[in-house]
Structure 1
């Protein structure tokens, strides 16, 4: 495969087909698709529709029965599949890490196989752990069993990126983790893509996930027939048919909250103190802030607790038992839907926004989010009115044309 200098590569699927012996119908039938370099394309469709089979044919984990695959213009259908897989990153559900290898050994596996030096591998492992938000010193020597599900998935993504491939294939990579961790992993992938510009093909059965991360979405019917291949906005506002509408479901306007990021709305500053500040200084800061609560940060600048005046009165010289723990946060890459869900679970009506290391960067409140919801609903209402007006106009034009065709005569 050609060198791509760290960036994504285009992918072309031409008449791609997979037949299994003894099956009357092909599992994947004559798929044609062009994916641009640096684009995130999501395959979404019902279980058994062939989306994972199509994905796995791109790196020939499943051999095509017919058709062609081109990566950056090069036909990879006939080259050594092992060589191909070393140039295409692959991340799966539950990470698929080797349990007898440390985190560093898992990440360094492909670079080691293709002959990188030890020093280069070591530097790459450190770089990637930092990139996916894991402290290299803390995680380098751990084994997969010592990691949480979310940490394992981060290591899985790091391993897929280890040899700096232009293409990254992801087969329901976040499907086995809890919803909050899943949201954070999605945000992390979006942030990584802003830095790396890889070509990512991502399989999911979750349409909301597809909307959130995809530049374009391929809605697939059975045998991977393409029902619609378009941007999330286009699919939400103009689904091609009833099958696609079934995936969009009810509440398209609210689903569009998945298209707007926290970084696109106003993030407000909030008064903060740290665990190292004297209690009297914290009290003075709260009193002068004009708010009824203040955010306590830990020694690394990460949100730790919300403190109210009554908490400080009861603290008696120690903050150990004072205040309310910060249970949920969002990043700037989180969607407004993520932020709204976090705010609704916290009856105080706001959520803390954090950076890539979990450090505090600001707060988004309910008023800001509700204004955004109203703007989306109003935009949808105006769009629907325009569509109705256009439809009525075309009907009027058609009626006039019919009347002129009849010599202007009308019948009661």
Structure 2
């Protein structure tokens, strides 16, 4: 049975738990033999349903702070409140069952199947077999993995990206209001990492959990965070604000060092593909007759088509010249689609994909890889131009404010000095 009456009602209704607020109050962690605490007097309010990213140099205490929230590391002093409930003194095992936790390299149990890994916490909290079975399939579908294909596999049979997806599914399986993520995408290649970040953004749009995410990558923090906490040594907060505010107005040189050069270009990580123009594009499928494909290409406004596979996923770009050389077969004709982006990808991701594609466009796909449309170079560059223009105007306004302040100070100095010698 579920642990509480509230949980019982929620599960019975089939509803999903939304996020919970988190308050850290003077949180400190000291270790014997070390004169300085690893984390010192950290206070922070995290709103329900938002994604907060901890970013800072190695050894600054960001992972220690994260682990104190679910008490994998016990705080030396201070309080942790989740939805106004003080969790510092309750059973840490019960607490962890109500908080999802995802780590680098997924942390899956190698001797258990994918289904058993995902089912672990729901079984522990007393869900029925039928409910657990349905939840496993629901979670695999949620993270874009076909339940029929992946249910019985073992972690060693999965790619790194697939393992991380299963890790996120396991963390969310018991429908916790809070999800803690400790550099979960740090061990995968850059392309897979981009796709996993997009997947997390999509999931958050659907689930509205409270996510606390640790990374050392400032670009990842910009892409994922509703707010970013830039941490110094001992998790002292240098700045806690929105990505836009940190990019445009870093509080000091330490924060500026994280922002680095090209703050305007980093803002490309704040705009999603779904916010710009996704255009239609003529498509055919691998099952269409060659003559049908030829007629569509010859009679259409484009000199190119996108061929989709049997699952409606982008497969090949076909040009008119490719069909002339096809000689009755498309097996070797066309250019394979090497990269796609999702609607939750950033303009930065889309621009990278477009720049590496000879056709100057990239296919946009849904959660199962199905084709949605394309984004082209012109659309992206128009948006880049708008960002740069907005930054130019902001810089001019800032310069004007500084000039007014300088004039005001000069006038005050002259009045104070009385103009005498």
Matched, 1:237 2:253: no
- Cα deviation for residue 373 of structure 1 reads 1.1
Alpha-carbon separation, structure 1, partners of 2:256 and 2:302: 46
Q: Choose 27-36 or 315-324, whichever is displaced more.
A: 315-324
- Across the aligned residues of Structure 1 and Structure 2, the Cα RMSD in angstroms comes to 1.2
- Cα deviation for residue 120 of structure 1 reads 0.6
Q: Which position in structure 2 is the counterpart of 1:13?
A: 24
- Cα deviation for residue 406 of structure 1 reads 3.6
Q: Which position in structure 1 is the counterpart of 2:116?
A: 105
The answer as to whether partners of 1:353 and 1:362 remain within 8 angstroms in 2 is yes
Q: Which position in structure 2 is the counterpart of 1:73?
A: 84
Q: Which position in structure 1 is the counterpart of 2:13?
A: none
Distance 1:53 1:310, change over 3 A: same
Which of 249, 254, 268 is equivalent to 1:257?
268
Alpha-carbon separation, structure 2, partners of 1:278 and 1:410: 95
- Cα deviation for residue 344 of structure 1 reads 1.1
- Cα deviation for residue 403 of structure 1 reads 2.4
Which of 133, 138, 143 is equivalent to 1:127?
138
Matched, 1:390 2:401: yes
Alpha-carbon separation, structure 2, partners of 1:262 and 1:289: 26
Q: Choose 87-96 or 287-296, whichever is displaced more.
A: 287-296
The answer as to whether partners of 1:403 and 1:410 remain within 8 angstroms in 2 is no
Which of 355, 380, 386 is equivalent to 1:375?
386
Alpha-carbon separation, structure 2, partners of 1:349 and 1:377: 21
Alpha-carbon separation, structure 1, partners of 2:58 and 2:408: 45
Q: Which position in structure 1 is the counterpart of 2:35?
A: 24
Q: Which position in structure 1 is the counterpart of 2:341?
A: 330
* Counterpart mapping for 1:308-327 below 5 A: 308-327=319-338
Aligned length: 410
Secondary structure of 1:24's counterpart equals coil
Which of 198, 205, 212 is equivalent to 2:209?
198
* Counterpart mapping for 1:199-238 below 5 A: 199-238=210-249
What TM-score do you get using the length of structure 2 for normalisation? 0.96
- Cα deviation for residue 405 of structure 1 reads 3.1
Which of 151, 159, 164 is equivalent to 1:140?
151
Matched, 1:90 2:101: yes
- Tell me, which stretches of 5 or more residues in structure 1 are unaligned? none
- Tell me, which stretches of 5 or more residues in structure 2 are unaligned? 11-15
Which of 259, 276, 281 is equivalent to 2:287?
276
- Cα deviation for residue 200 of structure 1 reads 0.3
Q: Which position in structure 2 is the counterpart of 1:358?
A: 369
Q: Which position in structure 1 is the counterpart of 2:193?
A: 182
- Cα deviation for residue 410 of structure 1 reads 6.9
Residue deviations 1:149-204, cap 9 Å, x none? 00000000000001100000000000011111100100000000011000000000
The answer as to whether partners of 1:350 and 1:364 remain within 8 angstroms in 2 is yes
Alpha-carbon separation, structure 1, partners of 2:196 and 2:25: 32
Q: Choose 153-162 or 388-397, whichever is displaced more.
A: 388-397
What TM-score do you get using the length of structure 1 for normalisation? 0.98
Secondary structure of 1:295's counterpart equals strand
Alpha-carbon separation, structure 2, partners of 1:183 and 1:63: 33
Q: Which position in structure 2 is the counterpart of 1:48?
A: 59
Alpha-carbon separation, structure 1, partners of 2:125 and 2:416: 74
Which of 349, 355, 359 is equivalent to 1:348?
359
Which of 375, 390, 415 is equivalent to 1:404?
415
Alpha-carbon separation, structure 2, partners of 1:290 and 1:398: 63
Alpha-carbon separation, structure 2, partners of 1:60 and 1:406: 61
Q: Which position in structure 1 is the counterpart of 2:161?
A: 150
Alpha-carbon separation, structure 2, partners of 1:105 and 1:125: 9
Secondary structure of 2:325's counterpart equals helix
